[in-house]
Amino acid sequence: MAVDPEEEIVEISAAELSPEALHGLVVEFVTRDGTDYGSRERSVEEKVSAVLRSLERGEVRIVFELGSGSANLLPVVRRLGS
């Protein structure tokens, strides 16, 4: 039986997480290797604030992968005309 990868990923609202859990998830995300882009170095807290603003604006979503038990932040892809 084939497993649909889409069924293994659950989207989680930021409001469903405690403030501490949300902050920890965002800190882990912004401190990963390969996430430092741009011409100016930014502090971890500046990066965290930027990601939290993106979550509030609906530009980023939180997903939880059931198979691995890991959470991630992904950009929201908007289709033209929607």
- Which pTM does this prediction carry? 0.78
Query: Is position 80 within any domain?
Result: no
Distance of alpha carbon 4 from alpha carbon 80, whole angstroms: 26
Backbone φ and ψ of 68, nearest 5°: -95, -15
Query: Is position 81 within any domain?
Result: no
Query: Is position 59 within any domain?
Result: yes
Give me the mean pLDDT over the 6-27 stretch: 91
- How does residue 13 score in pLDDT terms, banded at 50, 70 and 90? very high
Per the structure, the count of domains in the chain is 1
CATH of residue 56:
1.10.10.610
Nearest of 55, 61, 63, 62 to residue 6 by alpha carbon: 63
Query: Is position 82 within any domain?
Result: no
